[in-house]
Structure formats: structure tokens, C-alpha cells
Amino acid sequence: MKERNEKLMINVLPQKNAVVGAARWKYLKKRSTATTFVTALLIFLFVVIASALSFAGWIDLTKYSGHFYRKLVNSSIRPQVLEYPLDCDAWNKTNTCPRNYPTSYRPLNPSNSTCPEYFRWIHEDLRHWQKTGITREMLEKAKTHAHFRLIILDRKIYVERYPKKSIETRHLFTMYGIVQLLRWYPGKLPNLEIMFNTDDRPVIAAKDFQQPNSGPPPLFRYCSDWESLDIVFPDWSYWGWGETNIRPWRSMMKKIKEGNKRSSWKERIPFAYWRGNPNVSPVRKDLMKCNVTHNQNWDTLLYIQDWTDQSKKGYKESNIEDQCTHRFKIYVEGWAWSVSEKYIFACDSPTLYITPQYYDFFMRGMIPQQHYWPIRDTDKCRSLKFAVQWGNNHTDMAQAIGKAGSDFIHEDMKMEHVFDYMYHLLNEYAKLQKFNPVVPPNAIEICSESLACLSNGIWRKFMEEALEKSPSNTEPCTLPPPYNPQQLKAFVEKKANATKQVEEMEDEYWSSLNKSTSLAFS
């Protein structure tokens, strides 16, 4: 108002008083100009401060921009979505899932990156239904083996449980993982129905469905083998395994990275390390024969893990991040594929991979001599001995293998890509459905609250830790195309040849050693 009055005064003063001196006139004009400058400067400073505050996340600009995301002052920090924590108070009052979470999202940084190579196996796992599609009849046949049916319909998730008892809380955390996928990519999952089995070994034998148009029942699980048609899916432990005190995958990756920094690879114990329960399979019991004793030295240090005893001790001796202390880590299957696989690979040490029977969703993308060192399952002790000797005599190459395997896990297997794999697998599966999904009468809606708020102790803790509070900041990676027959043949042969080369080196090593021993005693 003061400025306005002064401007008016400047305009009318000459008319009202013609005797105003030139000095007075210059003074008023100079003052008016200064006031205008100060006002403009204040406006400029306000805009700068407001912008800074909004970039720092202090002022929420979403109501002005129509966007879910807040901007951050540090461009290296992932832009944050408005957070939606667990609302157990509302759940306890209504026993209904909240409706405040976004049903769609618009990522601030859309991604057009291509998914890792192992995503191509999605096409192979679903190839058996490419010609026939998936009918309602096929789906219902899978019910015989399923622990639960999961339905996604109109952006909601429902579950129908079956009498078949699941091992521990696998079913619970698998459901929770799919709920988190819907939070991560709200509105992007199609309507679908799947049958899920949470046991270890596959059950849909390929030999039973060799006739044309004999579509096998589609059954999801954590692993399969080359003689089965079960569809592989990320296991429950990505969201936590309470029974063994293993935290959700995001947290475990961070912890293992910290563990890797405690010692450089060349400073680590120059032996092969394994810790686990040998009583779950004959192959593990056979491995224990390779342990170091006073009478033999196979360059291995093998430890029996008693989970009951560890639970009493608070798992102080079983932290995975504390086990990155040896130059070599051993992977061996249990009753089927083992959850331990990803944690073993993550340690920056070459994984000595005993020939498996089963595979999970990512292992088919890893290559011998590049990501791991293959070990014969028929002659474990000598094969392990050679691997350790070779690695300790070729430290640069061995270290590179360990780093490549670890990088694969930390980069290609980060949680964002686990979600992307789930997303693409379910979308490609839904394209094959020849029926409209429906919610069975016995099914119930599930959400983060219905699963976490009713859990207690470490299970509740891990669910809270694994909760996706905001949608993804990017679009899903782009699914690579399926292998053509020539590409698939070349890839399989590449892996087979790499393994064969190691076996030939191993045979030569032991042959030379035996000759040297014979000469020494001759």
C-alpha cells in the first residue's frame, strides 16, 4: 500500500503543486525505484526458498501438480512417493482392507531398460501352454497339488486356502510378497487365477503331457527340474524367513555388502566353506565326508547347522553377513533347491556349485567359469580339492569369478528385479488364460494389513520391514524376447562346454598328481 501511495504521489504531485522543486522530484522518484527493487527481491527470495523447501520434501506440491511424488534436493536420492504405512488400527476396527493406497501410479522416472537375460526363461516356462492356452479345466487339475489359489481381480487380491498343510510360514510370506507386488506396481497387474504349491520338489512330470494339445495343469512353486513343468516363482524368503531369522532381501543385501567389506578376498581363509543341515538329503550327507580331519585334507571347512540350538542362542552364530570370511563358498542342494543359494553367491567369493538337479527362477542365467565354479556331484571331495587348489594358484581369475557371481546377485537380483520378474511372469501367464477369473465363495481378500496385523513377533517385524510403502519410481524393465531354437541350443551348449572344460582340467590335475606320487615311491 505504501508503494502504491508513493507512486500515486509521484503521478499527481506535479499537477497539484507546480512549485515542487526538481530536487524533491528526484528524491521521490529514486525512493519509488528502490522500493520496487526491494519488493521484487523479496518475491524472488520467497520463490527460491519455497522451491528449496519443496525439493527438500518440506512442502508437498502434489496437490498442485497432481503427481504422487515429492522432489528431493539431492538428485542422487530416489524421488519419494507419498508413504502408506500399515494401518492396523483401521484394520482392527473394520476387518477390511484399506482403500487409500493408489490404484494406479505415474512414475517420475519411467524406465526403458531391458530386463536381465534370465528373464527370457519366463517364455520357456510358459511355452507348454502357448498353443493350447490355459483353460479353466487345466487350472482346476492343479488344485490337487496346491496349497492355495490366488486371484487378482479388479486390482484386489483374494486367496482360497486348501487343507494341504504348508511348511512353516512359506504360504503366508508368499502371499505377502504378491501383495507387495501390487503395492509396487499398483494397477498394472491383470486379472488372473493361479494355483500355488509351497513344497520343495516339483510334481508336474513332463512325460505325462507329451501328447499334442495335452496341456499340463499350471502350478507355481519355488523350483523345478528339467523333467518337470512346474512354473518357478521367487521364494518366500525375499520377504523374510522368520524360522531362521533371515531378514527380507533388501535388508540382507545391505548386510552382506557390509560383511564383504570386512576383508578383501585375498585376505580370506583359503578354504571352501559350507554351513547347513546335512540331514535333509543324501547329497549333503555325502558332502560331509569331505570335511577336514587329522587324516585327510580336502581343503574344505564344513559345519553342521542346528537351527533348534541356534534359536535358543538368538541366532548369534548363524548371521549370513558374518559368513563372508572364506575364499570359496560351497552350494549344495537340500531336499530340493536351497534358499541358501542367493546368500552364498552374494559373498564376493567364488561359489563352488555342486551339480544340481533343480533350478530356481534366476539360476538358469548363470554361467560356469563366469559366475561360479562347477563341482561334480559324483566325486565331490576331489572336485572340491581341485577347485580350491586352482583358485589359490590363479587368484586373479578366481577373484573375478567370485566378483561376477556376487555382482549378478546384487545387481540383476536386486529387489526391483525380483518384482519385475514376478510382474512379467504373471502378465505373460494371464495372456494365456482362456477364462475369466472369478472369486470363489471361500476366498477372502488379502492385503498387507490382513496378513501383517494378525502376525506376531519376528513374523510381524519382517512384514513391516518388507512393506512397500510407496509405488515404484520407475516402470518395469522391458521383457526380452524368447530364445529361438538356435539361441537356446547355443546357450545350453555354452554352459555344458564350460563345465566339461573344468572337468577335463580336474582329470588332468589328478592324473598328474597320481603319476608324481607313483614316481616318488618307485
pLDDT digits (tens, 9 = 90+) for 158-212: 999 999 999 999 999 999 999 999 999 999 999 999 999 999 999 999 999 987 6
Question: Which pLDDT belongs to residue 81?
Answer: 53
Distance from C-alpha of 53 to C-alpha of 382, rounded to nearest angstrom: 64
- Please indicate, yes or no, whether residues 356 and 451 belong to a single structural domain of this protein: no
Q: How far apart are CA 406 and CA 265, in angstroms?
A: 12
Mean pLDDT confidence for 290-302: 94
Position 6 scores a pLDDT of: 42
Range of the domain at 212: 88-241+416-482
DSSP tag of 192? E
- One domain for residues 258 and 335: yes
| 368: three-class secondary structure by DSSP | strand
Q: What percent of the chain has pLDDT over 70?
A: 83
Contact between 339 and 361 under an 8 Å Cβ cutoff? The reply is no
Q: What is the pLDDT of residues 213-238, one digit of tens each?
A: 678 999 999 999 999 999 999 999 99
Residue 394 phi/psi, 5° resolution? -135, 65
Q: Are 290 and 233 within 8 A, CB to CB?
A: no
Grid cell for residue 259: 560383511
* φ and ψ of 496, to 5 deg: -65, -40
Residue type, 306: D
- What is the structure's pLDDT at 147? 98
Q: Do 92 and 228 belong to one domain? A: yes
Nearest to 98 by CA among 109, 111, 106, 89: 89
The model's pTM: 0.84
Q: Stretch 96-109: mean pLDDT, rounded? A: 89
Q: Are residues 94 and 148 in the same domain?
A: yes
Q: How far is CA 254 from CA 137, 250, 251, 408, in A?
A: 44, 7, 5, 15
What is the CB-side half-sphere exposure of residue 62 using CA atoms within 13 A? Answer: 16
Q: Which residue has the cell 510403502?
A: 469
For 380, phi then psi, to 5°, come to: -60, -50
Range 505-510 average pLDDT: 96
Does residue 42 belong to any structural domain of this protein? no
Q: Compute the distance between CA of residue 425 and CA of residue 123 in angstroms, rounded to an integer.
A: 8
Question: What three-state secondary structure class fits 291?
Answer: coil
CA 184 to chain centre: 12
Answer for the pair 241, 339: CB distance below 8 angstroms, yes or no: yes
The pLDDT value recorded for residue 520 is: 59
Spell 187-222 as b/e; 16+ CB within 10 A means b: ebbeebbbbbbbbbbbbbebeeeeeeeebbbbbbbb
* CATH code: domain of residue 374: 3.40.50.2000
Cβ 382 vs Cβ 506: under 8 Å:
yes
* 300-304/269-276 β-pairing: parallel
pLDDT, tens only, 349-363: 999 999 999 999 999
pLDDT bracket for residue 82 (50, 70, 90): confident
Residue 334 C-alpha cell reads as 537340500
Dihedrals φ, ψ of 175, to 5°? -60, -45
Across the chain, what does the average pLDDT equal? 86
Question: How many domains does the chain fold into?
Answer: 2
**Residues 392 and 478 grouped into a single domain:** no
The answer to whether position 56 is within a domain reads no
On whether residue 59 sits in a domain, the answer given is no
Asked if residue 179 belongs to a domain, the reply is yes
204 part of a folded domain: yes
Q: What is the pLDDT of residue 10?
A: 35
Domain assignment present for residue 297? The answer is: yes
- Kindly report the backbone phi and psi dihedral angles of residue 151, in degrees, each rounded to the nearest multiple of 5, phi listed first: -120, 130
344 pLDDT higher than 70: yes
Q: How confident is the model at residue 516 (pLDDT cuts 50, 70, 90)?
A: confident
Please state, in angstroms and as integers, the Cα–Cα distance from residue 507 to each residue in 10, 300, 388, 502, 516, following that order: 103, 19, 15, 9, 14
Residues 183 and 285 in one domain: no
CB-CB contact of 135 with 432 (8 Å)? no
Residue 27: inside a domain: no
Give yes or no: residues 207 and 256 share one domain: no
3-state secondary structure of 118: helix
| Cα distance between residue 90 and residue 156, in whole Å | 18
Cell numbers found for residue 3 = 508503494
Q: Looking at residues 367-378, what average pLDDT do you find?
A: 97
110 or 504: which carries more pLDDT confidence?
Answer: 504
Tell me, yes or no, whether 136 and 223 share the same domain: yes
Q: Is residue 79 part of a domain?
A: no
Beta bridge partners of 231: 220
Residue 49 has pLDDT above 90, yes or no: no
- Please check whether residues 276 and 407 belong to one and the same domain: yes
Query: Residues 378, 422: one domain?
Result: no
Are residue 377 and residue 506 in the same domain, yes or no?
yes
Asked if 322 and 396 sit in the same domain, the reply is yes
pLDDT tier at 438, thresholds 50, 70, 90: very high
